[in-house]
Amino acid sequence: MGNICRSPTGEGVFQYYVEAQGHADNIYIDSAGTIAYHEGEPADARMREVAAKRNYQLNSIARKVIPEDIEKFDLIIAMDQDNLYELELLAGGKKQHLRLLGSFLDGQNNDNAPSVPDPYYGGLDGFEQVLDMIEEACPNLLSHCLEISDHK
């Protein structure tokens, strides 16, 4: 929502994964939130701390999704149903390139995908869970991105 916990983590972890797989030149990764409450702020300090323990750097600065993002990006990932709904409103309805991160976990799609829980009001375990889910989704997410680029 505010682009300081889950989304910048998704950006940082996926960027790390894409670079490690040798595809950094082909895939542009960014993050944004559906509200502007934290606009201009770095990722939550707790999220950065937990991510750093796994060698991830979260360097993004919070921003709000804008209508141009819907057209610019080939794939937009939401962390939960509420944020997916907000993206669909901005896009004028459901779009094929609006997906839940949980849909990239094995055997999932947008209809049955688990949400990535918002760790903001909880303990450090929640931040670890966010990292676990994002890491697990990275291989399928990269495969999907490569399929998209092959069809362009």
The total number of structural domains that make up the chain? 1
Q: What is the pLDDT of residues 111-145, one digit of tens each?
A: 889 999 999 999 999 999 999 999 999 999 999 99
> How many residues does the structure list for the chain?
152
Residue 149 lies inside a defined structural domain of this protein: no
Higher pLDDT, 142 or 110: 142
Domain that holds residue 21: 6-144
Contact predicate 34/83, CB 8 Å: yes
What is the mean pLDDT of the segment spanning 17-35?
A: 96
Domain of 93, CATH number, reads 3.40.50.2300
Mapping DSSP to helix (H, G, I), strand (E, B) and coil, where does residue 67 land? Answer: helix
Residue 91 lies inside a defined structural domain of this protein: yes
Residue 99 lies inside a defined structural domain of this protein: yes
Query: How many C-beta neighbours within 10 Å does residue 55 have?
Result: 7
pTM of the shown model: 0.95
Residue 65 lies inside a defined structural domain of this protein: yes
pLDDT at 107 over 90: no
Q: What is the pLDDT of residues 79-91, one digit of tens each?
A: 999 999 999 999 9
Distance CA 122, CA 133 (A): 17
Burial track 1-29 (b if 16+ CB lie within 10 A, e otherwise): bbbbbbbbbbbbbbbbbbeeeeeeeebeb
Query: How many C-beta neighbours within 10 Å does residue 122 have?
Result: 12
pLDDT at 62 over 90: yes
Residue 150 lies inside a defined structural domain of this protein: no
Higher pLDDT, 150 or 124: 124
pLDDT value of residue 152: 65
Residue 122 lies inside a defined structural domain of this protein: yes
What is the mean pLDDT of the segment spanning 48-70?
A: 97
Strand ranges for 23-89 from DSSP E: 76-78
